[in-house]
Amino acid sequence: AQKITQTQPGMFVQEKEAVTLDCTYDTSDPSYGLFWYKQPSSGEMIFLIYQGSYDQQNATEGRYSLNFQKARKSANLVISASQLGDSAMYFCAMSLKWSNFGNEKLTFGTGTRLTIIP
């Protein structure tokens, strides 16, 4: 069965430092996607970055990069030069196909609460 594990319930990081949020996954399906979302206290889910299982290069989006290590089944999120506005919950999620139409459903980890200290 597919599973996403985030082992860091909470992290405190000094402003302007880089931070790595850990995520490991488990699936026997060769085709999957990995997502990171940010959830501020308002509750909205903000998409940060996506990595497909067949993508050769690590995904990057501005200050966000995904350190994809397929053999180790890890997909860590790296935030460079952290800002106070980065304080939020962060969720790793994996998408797997569930229908012949090609649609996929997301399975989420339990999240990491990141707090940036001034």
Partner 1 sequence: DGGITQSPKYLFRKEGQNVTLSCEQNLNHDAMYWYRQDPGQGLRLIYYSQIVNDFQKGDIAEGYSVSREKKESFPLTVTSAQKNPTAFYLCASSIPRGTGAYGYTFGSGTRLTVV
Binding site for partner 1 (CB under 8 A): 4, 6, 33, 35, 42-45, 47, 50, 52, 91, 93, 95, 97-99, 101-111, 113
Residues 6+ apart with CB under 8 A from 3: 25, 26, 27, 107
CB of 82 to partner 1, least distance (A): 22
Contact status, residue 4 vs residue 108, Cβ threshold 8 Å: yes
| Cβ distance to partner 1 smaller for residue 28 or 42 | 42
| Cβ distance to partner 1 smaller for residue 44 or 72 | 44
| Cβ distance to partner 1 smaller for residue 76 or 107 | 107
Q: Is 99 helix (H, G, I), strand (E, B) or coil?
A: coil
CB of 104 to partner 1, least distance (A): 6
Number of neighbouring beta carbons within 10 Å of residue 91: 23
Q: How far apart are CA 65 and CA 84, in angstroms?
A: 18
CB of 16 to partner 1, least distance (A): 27
| Tokens 């196909």 belong to residue | 97
